[in-house]
Amino acid sequence: MQQIKILTIIGARPQIIKSAALSRAIKNKFADKILEIIVHTGQHYDDNMSDVFFEELEIPNPNYNLNVGSGTHGKQTSLMIEGIEEILLKEKPSCIILYGDTNSTLAGAIAASKIFIPVIHIEAGLRSFNKSMPEEINRIICDHVSTLLFSPTITGYNNLVKEGFRENNTSPYSNDNPKIYHCGDIMLDNSLFFSTKAEQKTTILKDNNLESNNFILATIHRNNNTDEPSRLNNLFNALNKIATKKKINIIIPLHPRTSKLLVQNLSSELYCQIKTNPFIKITPPVSYLEMIALEKNASLIMTDSGGVQKEAFFFNKPCIILRPETEWTELVTCGSAKLTDTDENRITEAFNHFAENNTLYFPNLFGDGKAAEFICEQIIENIK
Ligand code: UD1
Ligand code: UDP
C-alpha cells in the first residue's frame, strides 16, 4: 500500500503540543501507511512559545517554517495563506491536518479548500456562540470547509449536527459530504503520556518554593482580557486580593501578549502591588512538562485558556474559568469548573466554594487517551 501524504499545519503553542500526539501515533503505529509533512507558520516564535516543545515532546522538526510572526489578523492570516498555498501546490498532499481555532487554522482551511485539498479538522464543533472572539470565526469557517471533522466532546459533535452536518452519511466523503466523529480529546493523549515524566524531569515546584496542593496556577492570555484595561485590572486585582487575604501562592506563567499589555494596561498602583506581592510569582511561559507538573500539584487552577481548562479536569483539579462563557460546557455542568468572567466577587466566591468543597466528581468526558490512533485509522480508511 502506498503511504498517504498528510500535511500538518502548526503555528500557535497549543497546536504544536496537540500535534505531538498525532506524530507519535504515526511513528509508533502507522509509519508504513502515513507520511507526515509539518509546516510551522511561525505564528508563535519565541523559544518558550515554540522551540521548547519540539524537543520536549519529541515532535519532528518542521519541514517548512513560514516565519510569519505577529501582526494584525488580516496581515498575519494572508501571509500564511500565501505561504501554505505554495507548499500545498509543491507537496500535493492527500489532505491537510488543522488543529483548533487559531489564525494558522483559518489560513490552512482557506488555502487548502480553494485548491481542492481535503481538510481534516481536529477539535471540530467547539462553539462559544460569541463571534467577538476571533477563534469563533476561525473554527466555524474551518468546520464548514472540512471533509473529516473530529470532535473531542459530545457537545461539539451535537453543535455540528445542529449546524446541518449529517450523522449517517456514507463515504466517499468530501467537503460537500463531510464526516463527523466524536473521538475524544487529543490533548488527553499527551497529558496521559507525559504525566509521570513531567514530575520526574522537572524542578519547577522546588524552583518556585511551591508546596504540592497548596498553590494556585493561573494563566491569562485571551485578547478580551488582555486588551481591555478594565478587565485586566479586575482580574489582577482579584488575584492580588486572594493571594494576600488567603496567604496562598499564585504562580502565573505569563503569555508574551499579557506580559506586554500588563505594563500598558494595569494601573501603576496595581502593577506595583502585583510585582511586590510575595505570594504572586509571575514567570515567563513554562515548558509543557513544567506546566503539567504545575497542574498536577496545584490546589486550584484559574485560567482563560481553552487547553488549560481541560488539563485541569484531566488532573482532577477544580478550575475557575476567567471568561464569560466556555466551549467546554461539560466542565461547568459537572461542577469541576466555575465560570466567573473577570468579576472579583464571582472569582472570590468560586475560590471559597472550591476551598470548602474538596470532593468533586470528574466523569470520563474526554475519551481514553487514544484519539490520535483513531484519527489516523479514519484518515487511512477515508482519504485516498
Ligand atoms: C493565539 C490564538 C489563540 C490561542 C493562543 C495560544 C489567534 C487569533 N489566537 O493567540 O486562539 O489561544 O494563540 O497561545 O490565532 N507574541 C510574542 N511571541 C510569540 C508569540 C506572540 O511576543 O512567540 C506576542 C506578540 O506581541 C503578538 C501577541 O503575543 O502580537 C499575540 O500573538 P498572536 O499569535 O497574534 O495571538 P495569541 O494571543 O498568542
Ligand atoms: N502551556 C505551556 N506553558 C505555559 C502555558 C501553557 O506549556 O506556560 C500549555 C498548556 O499545558 C496547554 C497549552 O499550552 O497544553 C495551552 O495553550 P494556550 O493556553 O496558549 O492556548 P489555548 O489552549 O487557550 O488555545
pLDDT digits 0-9 by tens, 105-148: 999 999 999 999 999 999 999 999 999 999 999 999 999 999 99
Of 185, 202, 192, 213, the closest CA to residue 330 belongs to 185
Hey, which of 65, 70, 227, 323 would you mutate to test ligand 1's pocket, going by the most ligand atoms within 8 Å of its Cβ?
70
Rounded to whole angstroms, what are the CA distances from 295 to 252, 321, 329?
Answer: 12, 15, 20
- What is the CA(49)–ligand 2 centre distance, in A? 9
CATH 3.40.50.2000 residue spans of the chain:
4-185+367-382, 197-356
Cα–Cα distance for residue pair 266/237, rounded to 1 Å: 10
Pick the CATH number of 197-356 from 3.40.50.2000, 2.40.40.20, 3.40.640.10, 3.40.50.2300: 3.40.50.2000
* Catalytic positions: 221
Q: Do residues 44 and 12 lie in contact, with contact meaning Cβ atoms separated by under 8 Å?
A: yes
Predicted confidence at residue 85, as pLDDT, reads 98
Predicted confidence at residue 305, as pLDDT, reads 98
pTM of the shown model: 0.98
Q: Is 257 in the pocket of ligand 1 (CB under 6 A)?
A: yes
- The string of DSSP codes covering 35-67 is EEEEEE--SS-SGGGTHHHHHHTTPPPPSEE--
- What is the CA(256)–ligand 1 centre distance, in A? 8
Predicted confidence at residue 384, as pLDDT, reads 85
Pick the CATH number of 4-185+367-382 from 3.40.50.300, 3.40.50.150, 3.40.50.2000, 3.50.50.60: 3.40.50.2000
Ligand 2 closest atom vs CA 253: 8
Q: Do residues 187 and 372 lie in contact, with contact meaning Cβ atoms separated by under 8 Å?
A: no
Q: Do residues 127 and 327 lie in contact, with contact meaning Cβ atoms separated by under 8 Å?
A: yes
- What is the CA(12)–ligand 1 centre distance, in A? 7
Q: Is 224 in the pocket of ligand 1 (CB under 6 A)?
A: no
Among protein residues, the one with the nearest Cα to ligand 2's atom 7 is 288
Cα–Cα distance for residue pair 109/216, rounded to 1 Å: 37
Predicted confidence at residue 233, as pLDDT, reads 98
Predicted confidence at residue 359, as pLDDT, reads 79
Cα–Cα distance for residue pair 199/145, rounded to 1 Å: 41
Predicted confidence at residue 289, as pLDDT, reads 98
Question: DSSP class of residue 170?
Answer: -
Predicted confidence at residue 311, as pLDDT, reads 98
Q: Is 256 in the pocket of ligand 1 (CB under 6 A)?
A: yes
pLDDT confidence band for 251 (50 / 70 / 90)? very high
Hey, which of 10, 17, 41, 44 would you mutate to test ligand 1's pocket, going by the most ligand atoms within 8 Å of its Cβ?
44
Whether 293 has a pLDDT exceeding 90, the answer reads: yes
Predicted confidence at residue 358, as pLDDT, reads 77
pLDDT confidence band for 360 (50 / 70 / 90)? confident
Q: What is the pLDDT of residues 7-35, one digit of tens each?
A: 999 999 999 999 999 999 999 999 999 99
Whether 2 has a pLDDT exceeding 90, the answer reads: no
